[in-house]
Structures are given as C-alpha cells and as structure tokens.
C-alpha cells in the first residue's frame, strides 16, 4: 500500500513540473510576441511616414525640377534647399531623417555610422516636362 502512495506522489510531482514548465513557456512566448509586435509597429509607422514624404516630393514640380537639376552624388549637407526644407518640415517629431541623391545606377548608402536601426526608402525621379535626367532620391530615417 505504501508503495502505491509513493508511486502516486511521483506522478503528482511530474505533473506539477510539467505545469510549471508550461506556465513559464507561456509567459516567455507572450513577452516575445509583444516585443516583436512593437518593433513591427514602429517599422510600419516609419515606413508610412517615409512614403508620405517621398510622395510629397514626387508630386511637387518645383522639387522634382530641383532634384533633376543635380549631378553626381548629393549628400545631406549639400542638399537642394527647397527639398531639404520640405523633408525637415514633413518629418515627424519621433524620428530624424537624412537623404541622398544619386544616379540610378549607383549604390546609394548613408555615409556615417549610425548605431541605430535605419530605415531606407528610395524613389527614382526621372523627368520633368522639359528635362530627362533620372536621379535616385533615397530617404534614411531612424527613431530619435
């Protein structure tokens, strides 16, 4: 009889250990899911804001003319004044942005080493009614 009671206690200990493992696993999975969801949310937010800034530039004839009128690679420090002002104006408070204008066949990368997650979007501005000079506008943004 005592042997049977010890056997039952052993099974109860095993069940208790399994329940504890399941509880801990559940808490860890919830924490991972919530942190990943927050990262995807900020990515979507930055992506949508970048697209809005780029679309605004694409639809403005004066900004298109300013970009197409450039040659070579244009860094943020030497950026065309109106386009730079529009990017700064449209950038939300929670992020910083920089941009670069390159030719369409160049690899357009951000110079400088940022130790933050940098999100990049690019668009090709190809022509105005008078001029055909395809240029790539690349917008780099990161959280403040």
User: Partners of 119 in the beta sheet?
Assistant: 141
pLDDT above 70 for 38: no
More confident residue, 87 or 108: 87
What is the C-alpha to C-alpha distance for residues 126 and 4, in angstroms, rounded to an integer? 84
Residue 37: predicted pLDDT? 59
pLDDT above 70 for 36: no
pLDDT above 90 for 68: yes
Residue 110: predicted pLDDT? 85
Residue 108: predicted pLDDT? 87
Mean pLDDT of the chain: 87
Please name which of 127, 123, 141 lies closest in space to residue 54, comparing C-alpha atoms.
123
Range name among 18-27, 38-47, 86-95 with the lowest pLDDT average: 38-47
Which pTM does this prediction carry? 0.71
Domain boundary assignment for the chain? 2-143
9-22 pLDDT, tens digit per residue, is: 778 888 899 999 99
Task: Give residue 67's region: left, alpha or beta (phi > 0; psi -120 to 50).
Answer: alpha
User: Does residue 86 contact residue 55 with C-beta atoms inside 8 Å?
Assistant: no
**40-59: average pLDDT:** 91
């Amino acid at each position: 009889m005592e042997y049977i009671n010890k056997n039952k206690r052993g099974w109860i200990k095993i069940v208790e250990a399994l329940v504890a493992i399941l509880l801990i696993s559940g808490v860890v999975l919830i924490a991972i899911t919530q942190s990943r969801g927050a990262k995807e949310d900020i990515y979507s937010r930055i992506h949508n804001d970048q697209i809005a800034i780029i679309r605004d530039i694409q639809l403005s004839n004066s900004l298109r003319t300013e970009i197409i009128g450039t040659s070579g690679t244009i860094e943020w420090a030497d950026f065309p004044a109106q386009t730079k002002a529009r990017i700064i104006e449209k950038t939300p408070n929670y992020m910083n942005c920089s941009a670069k204008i390159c030719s369409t066949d160049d690899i357009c990368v951000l110079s400088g080493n940022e130790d933050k997650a940098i999100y990049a979007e690019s668009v090709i501005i190809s022509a105005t009614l008078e001029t055909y000079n395809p240029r790539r506008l690349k917008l780099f943004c990161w959280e403040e």
